[in-house]
Structure 1
Amino acid sequence: MTTQIDAGELSRLIGTKTVKVIDGSWALDGTDMRALFETDHIPGAQFFDIEAVSDHSTDLPHMAPSPEQFAAAVGRLGISADDHVVIYDRQGLFSAARVWWTFVVMGHKKVQILRGGLLGWKAAGLPIEDHVVPASAVTYTPYPLRGKIIDMKTLAESSNDYLVLDARSRARFEGTAPEPRAGLRSGHMPGSRSLPFGDLIRDGSLKPEAELKEILADVGVHDEVAVVTSCGSGVTAAIISMALAETGHTSALLYDGSWAEWGQNKLDTPVVTGAE
């Protein structure tokens, strides 16, 4: 199954009731995406709250939930492990990738991103709803996959074993722009390479596979390399993970703590500035 689906195909599946749709919108500036969802969404969609469905035992933002927490939350949305799930966000392609990645980590087989997101859906002239239809809860059984997440300790001890791709802007990567979160140093992990997530996107969708392969090859991706994706807090890193999956590279790990963890002033993790 490819990582993306067109609006027309999703509309057809909604008509045959063979798909479950999720709004996975999230914004760094704290915009109330749930409130926006409740007034403007794809028919039948349910809202996935990235902040709520996360590990609350840490002060790091929206870390991956436990399988039990994920199962309970997704089950309340009326989704079972066998359902075909399609995720979108309001920006085109931004936080939806993080929700897609979370489903993948939990072993969900049929999960895709809507090309163009809500903006693309509207541009196609397809209907929206301004009311939420409550879902009937079901039992969700996760089958979590190993080897999809890497922690700071493991990465710090074996960084030379990985190609680390950083989805933040080049200015943040090089340390010429400040971090949006307080208490973080500017710069990047030694040896990591800059791959701003926007370089992978056109019109709210991943670029064509051939272009993605060329972009990824230019930063050192090949079949034999172990890739780690990173960003500010693990959201846009998933866009690189998605691009890797779209081009057939399925062994990438995501550094969930990302710069929100590595870049903390209180840590002695090495940080460098300038182009790498």
Structure 2
Amino acid sequence: AGHIPGARFVDPKRTQLGQPPAPGLLPTKAQLEALFGELGHNPGAVYVVYDDEGGGWAGRFIWLLDVIGHSKYHYLDGGLLSWQAEGLPLSTDVPAPVGGPVPLTLHDEPTATREYLQSRLGAADLAIWDARGPTEYSGEKVVAAKGGHIPGAVNFEWTAGMDQARNLRIRKDMPQILESLGITPDKEVITHCQTHHRSGFTYLVA
């Protein structure tokens, strides 16, 4: 048990607003400034982001980095499981928070609002990737105010993109899978789930 030496823990709850009816919304600017201050954020920082579940929470944190306009990051493919499978060292030391809040500028581009998505529905250059399970997509399982899916969305459940035989690394054939779904580089891709946890992985992959 433990973590990669030098890694700092980010509680997934701190990456979400956590308030009903949409707990997965972006945290407030003040909350993000406090979080990134504790991490020691600065313009020259290079982040290596990982989790222990295949990329959902890591992808959501990378989304936060995009929101604050910080492009210096890498995703550790396979995360902690792949690290352990390689026999690499773990640590149980917990680094202390670095400092207080840091000023941040939030950018709208990585986030699609409901109004924006409604204005783009049906556009030929738009792909909507629903990362939920098939029964949620079909409406058989209802965990929101309404069942079903956004018109035009395609469904590819998030964990199906993880290679179980390679310690949850991203599948090597994901580019071909995405192309077959119509999720191609020439389109704007909007991905979602219920709280932007599962779609953290698909945000990372898309």
**TM over 0.5, shorter chain:** yes
1:71 matches 2:33: yes
Partner of 1:185: 146
> Could you say which residue in structure 1 is the equivalent of 2:136?
172
Q: Is the 8 A contact 2:54 2:162 kept in 1?
A: no
Deviation per CA, 1:74-120, whole angstroms, max 9, x where unpaired?
11122323111111112232211111111122111211221211111
Q: Which residue of 2 aligns with 1:251?
A: none
Structure with greater contact order relative to length (CA < 8 Å, sep ≥ 6) = 2
| Structure-2 residue corresponding to 1:20 | none
Q: Is the 8 A contact 1:164 1:191 kept in 2?
A: yes
1:222-268 deviation line (CA, Å, top 9, x unaligned):
34322211112112222222112xxxxxxxxxxxxxxxxxxxxxxxx
SS at match of 1:154: helix
Equivalent residue, structure 2, for 1:155 = 117
Percent of aligned pairs sharing the same letter: 25
Equivalent residue for 1:41? 3
Deviations 1:164-218 (A, max 9, x none): 1101112221123x24x4x53332112211121123221322223xx22211111
Q: Secondary structure at the match of 1:96?
A: helix
* 8 Å contact from structure 1 (residues 98, 238) kept in 2: yes
Q: Unpaired segments of 5 or more residues in structure 1? A: 1-38, 245-276
State whether residues 166 and 193 of structure 1, in contact with CA within 8 Å, keep that contact through their aligned partners in structure 2.
yes
- TM-score, length of structure 2 as denominator length: 0.85
Q: Secondary structure at the match of 1:160?
A: coil
Q: Distance in 2 between matches of 1:169 and 1:197?
A: 8
Aligned-partner SS, 1:145: coil
Answer yes or no: is the 8 Å Cα contact 2:59–2:204 preserved in 1: yes
1:200 equivalent to 2:172? Answer no
Q: Residues 1-276 of structure 1: matches in 2 within 5 Å?
A: 40-55=2-17, 59-137=21-99, 140-161=102-123, 162-176=126-140, 178-179=141-142, 181=143, 183-202=144-163, 203-208=167-172, 211-244=173-206
* RMSD of equivalent CA atoms: 2.3
CA distance in 1, matches of 2:147, 2:160: 21
SS state at 1:227 partner: strand
Q: Tell me the distance in 1 between the aligned counterparts of 2:16 and 2:185.
A: 32
- Secondary structure (helix, strand or coil) at the match of 2:83 reads helix
CA distance in 1 between counterparts of 2:168 and 2:81 reads 8
Letter aligned with residue 4 of structure 2 = I
Displacement of 1:66 in angstroms is 3.6
In structure 2, C-alpha distance between the alignment counterparts of 1:49 and 1:81, rounded to whole Å: 22
Q: How many residues align?
A: 201
| CA displacement at 1:48 relative to structure 2 | 1.2
**Which ranges of structure 2 fall in alignment gaps of 5 or more residues?**
none
The verdict on how the C-alpha distance between 1:222 and 1:133 changes in structure 2, with shifts beyond 3 A counting, is: closer
TM-score of the two chains, using structure 1 as the length reference: 0.65
